[in-house]
Amino acid sequence: MRILCVCDKGVNRSVHIASELKWAGHDTVPVGVHTAQPGTLTMLAGWADLIIATDEKQIEAIAEHVRGPLPIWLWEIRDGYSRPYNAVQHKLVRRHIDEHRERLIHLDGA
C-alpha cells in the first residue's frame, strides 16, 4: 500500500511514521504541509492509497489536494520532539501502528 505520512515540516513525525510503515512492507513518503509546494502535495495525494496526518490542521491542509475518495487517518502525535526516533515519539508511533494493524491489512487487501 502507498501511504503518505504528513506532519508540519516533513522532517520528524512523518519521517518516523513513514520509516516504521516502510519496515512493515508499505511504500511510504513523508511530507510537510508547510514546506511542500502545492503541486507536490497534489501529486503525492494522487499517488497515495492512504494519508496519515499527525494533527487536525494537516488534514484540512492536505484535503485541499485530494481528488476523489481517499482515507485520511489522524494519528495524533504532538510536535516538539527534538529529532526523529525520539523514544517517547517512537512509543506513540508503534502504538498507532499496533492499534491500526487490522485496518492497514484490510486496506492493503482491498
Number of structural domains in the chain:
1
Structural domain range at position 6: 2-109
Report the Cα 86 to chain-centroid distance in Å. 17
- Fill in the DSSP letter of residue 73: E
pLDDT at 4: 97
Report how far residue 3's alpha carbon sits from residue 5's, in angstroms, rounded to the nearest whole number. 6
Q: What CATH number has the domain bearing residue 96?
A: 3.40.50.2300
pLDDT at 95: 93
Kindly tell me if the per-residue pLDDT of 110 is higher than 70: no
- Fill in the DSSP letter of residue 77: -
Q: How many CB atoms lie within 10 A of CB 81?
A: 17
pLDDT at 46: 93
pLDDT at 29: 97
pLDDT tens for 52-89 read 999 999 999 998 888 888 889 999 998 877 776 788 88
Strands 2-7 and 72-74: unpaired
pLDDT tens for 8-50 read 999 899 999 999 999 989 999 999 999 999 999 999 999 999 9
Kindly tell me if the per-residue pLDDT of 102 is higher than 90: no
Which residue is it, cell 511514521?
A: 17
